[in-house]
């Protein structure tokens, strides 16, 4: 089984699948269905549903994973995520990638589902395999899939990153985009391009305590109340992730080397004559700092994952999370009412997945885990919206849990996973399906 899972992970890693560009990987799974005479359906968003008849007289169950991955690479990498395969490095038990993110999130879950689809010797009820798109960005796939095509009232999501945990609930989240169009003025002060980078990265839901000091907020703190004018500010890669870098172009007469002396900033003199006005510069910096990052309360958090400047417009992506609906909406509403001349558009809302202690799947999985390891798995409420919330909202009376294999540093070039954990999780999954 080790070689099969490895081979299937490599098959998936050969196919480019950046979020928003999932057609090739969707077609791959459609072709697998055709080769194995399985029912398949692909929608306009490249979501794929595949069905496999069972040999156990039991209610059907669905397995679910997302097709896309977060694509990041090292500064010196020439990797083309539109065309190049991920260069997977296997060192004994450890799996990484050369100079890029690995895509273990969610390539490991996809490889397990592929293995089950192609193995005709397994005992299982009728199975449905749901593959969704844009999980790492807009949730467009999972939100818009036609769920009337799904028969199962039981679903196992394979998107968690610890093999000794079963997730049975998660925060809801709201993603807002904050934009402002400023006044551009001419200015003849010296101009500098300043980059701060190499900040901790990864999924903000798993590392939210680091969000308070991400690269974007750190840059804003340094520039606050300084005699500068902004030309541009750009940073971060995805709204869900920690911002690892921030770059500004500013005009100023102050000593920039001195104010950045505590950071390994890259400072370059440039030629620039046009900037945002002083008022707009202050508003932009204030908006960044007023959008609170990290833990806001014991149950709520925020993450400013990305900022972009184009001409005279600045856009910020900021996500808030909470297990409490009232608190979630209150924090979002307060962030929309900041007095910094920004317009706010709500991009998406991901509903709260409430814990169900009576869940049949949860209790059967806990018993199976205990019988194998003489201890129960940890139960966890995920901090950060998951596709489970969106699916549960759209399928009445759905019973759902989330499990997965060990992964570290996801969404970074240090992303790592372990084959022994794949085997542990796969073995549990197969025994779980057989027991239903």
pLDDT at 207: 87
Q: Which residues, at least 6 apart from 293, have a Cβ–Cβ distance to it below 8 Å?
A: 211, 212, 214, 217, 301, 302, 303, 304
CA 299/CA 185 separation, integer angstroms: 43
Burial readout 30-51 (b: 16 or more C-beta within 10 A, e: otherwise): bebbeeeebebebeebbbbbbb
Assign 3-state DSSP to the chain and report helix, strand, coil percentages, each to 5.
30, 30, 40
pLDDT at 355: 93
Distance of CA 125 to the CA centre of its chain: 31
DSSP characters over 351-389: --B---TT-HHHHHHHHHHHHHHSSPPEEEEESS--HHH
pLDDT at 385: 63
CA 414/CA 19 separation, integer angstroms: 19
* In the chain, domain spans: 2-171+352-435, 174-350
CA dist 369 → 166, 193, 360, 424, 431 (Å) = 10, 54, 14, 10, 10
CA 244/CA 215 separation, integer angstroms: 6
Taking only the tens of pLDDT, the chain with its 436 residues reads 999 999 999 999 999 999 999 999 999 999 999 999 999 999 999 999 999 999 999 999 999 999 999 999 998 999 999 999 999 999 999 999 999 999 999 999 999 999 999 999 999 999 999 999 999 988 899 999 999 999 999 999 999 999 999 999 999 999 999 999 999 999 999 999 999 999 999 889 888 999 999 999 999 999 999 999 999 999 999 888 999 999 999 999 999 999 999 999 999 999 999 999 999 999 999 999 999 999 999 889 999 999 999 999 999 999 999 999 999 999 999 999 999 999 999 998 888 999 999 999 999 999 999 999 999 999 999 887 689 999 999 999 999 999 999 999 999 999 999 999 999 999 999 999 999 9
CATH class of 2-171+352-435: alpha beta
Q: Is 289 left (phi over 0), alpha (psi -120 to 50) or beta?
A: alpha
- Radius of gyration from C-alpha coordinates of the chain: 23
Two structure tokens written together for 31: 């072709």
């Amino acid at each position: 089984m080790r070689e099969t899972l490895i081979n299937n992970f490599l098959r998936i890693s050969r196919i480019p699948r950046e979020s928003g560009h999932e057609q090739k990987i969707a077609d791959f799974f459609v072709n697998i269905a055709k080769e194995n005479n399985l029912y398949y359906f692909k929608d306009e968003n490249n979501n794929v549903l595949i069905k496999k008849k069972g040999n156990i007289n039991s209610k059907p169950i669905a397995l679910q994973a997302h097709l896309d991955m977060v694509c990041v690479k090292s500064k010196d990498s020439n990797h083309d995520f539109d065309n190049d395969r991920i260069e997977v490095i296997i060192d004994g038990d450890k799996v990484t990638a050369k100079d890029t993110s690995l895509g273990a999130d969610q390539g490991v879950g996809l490889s397990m589902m592929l293995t089950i689809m192609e193995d005709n010797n397994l005992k299982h009820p009728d199975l449905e395999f749901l593959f969704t798109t844009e999980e790492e960005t807009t949730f467009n796939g999972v939100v818009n899939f036609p769920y009337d095509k799904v028969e199962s009232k039981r679903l196992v999501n394979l998107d968690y990153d610890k093999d000794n945990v079963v997730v049975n609930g998660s925060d809801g989240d709201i993603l807002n985009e904050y934009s402002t169009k400023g006044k551009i003025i001419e200015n003849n002060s010296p101009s500098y391009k300043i980059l701060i980078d190499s900040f901790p990265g990864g999924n903000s839901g798993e590392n939210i305590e680091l969000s308070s000091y991400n690269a974007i907020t750190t840059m804003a703190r340094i520039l606050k109340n300084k005699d500068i004018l902004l030309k541009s500010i750009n940073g971060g890669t995805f709204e869900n992730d920690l911002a690892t870098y921030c770059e500004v172009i500013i005009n100023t007469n102050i000593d920039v080397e001195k104010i950045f002396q505590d950071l390994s900033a890259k400072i370059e003199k440039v030629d620039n004559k046009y900037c945002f006005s002083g008022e707009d510069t202050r508003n932009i910096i204030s908006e960044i700092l007023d959008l609170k990052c990290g833990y806001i309360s014991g149950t709520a958090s925020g993450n400013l994952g990305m900022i972009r400047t184009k001409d005279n417009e600045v856009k910020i992506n900021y996500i808030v999370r909470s297990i409490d609906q009232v608190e979630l909406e209150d924090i979002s509403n307060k962030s929309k009412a900041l007095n910094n001349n920004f317009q706010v558009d709500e991009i998406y809302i991901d509903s709260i997945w409430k814990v169900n202690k009576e869940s049949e799947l949860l209790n059967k999985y806990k018993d199976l885990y205990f019988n194998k390891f003489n201890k129960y798995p940890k139960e966890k409420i995920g901090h950060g919206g998951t596709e489970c919330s969106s699916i549960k909202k759209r399928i009445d009376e759905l019973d759902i849990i989330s499990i997965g294999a060990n992964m570290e540093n996801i969404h970074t070039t240090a992303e790592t996973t372990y084959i022994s954990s794949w085997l542990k999780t796969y073995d549990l999954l197969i025994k779980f399906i057989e027991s239903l």
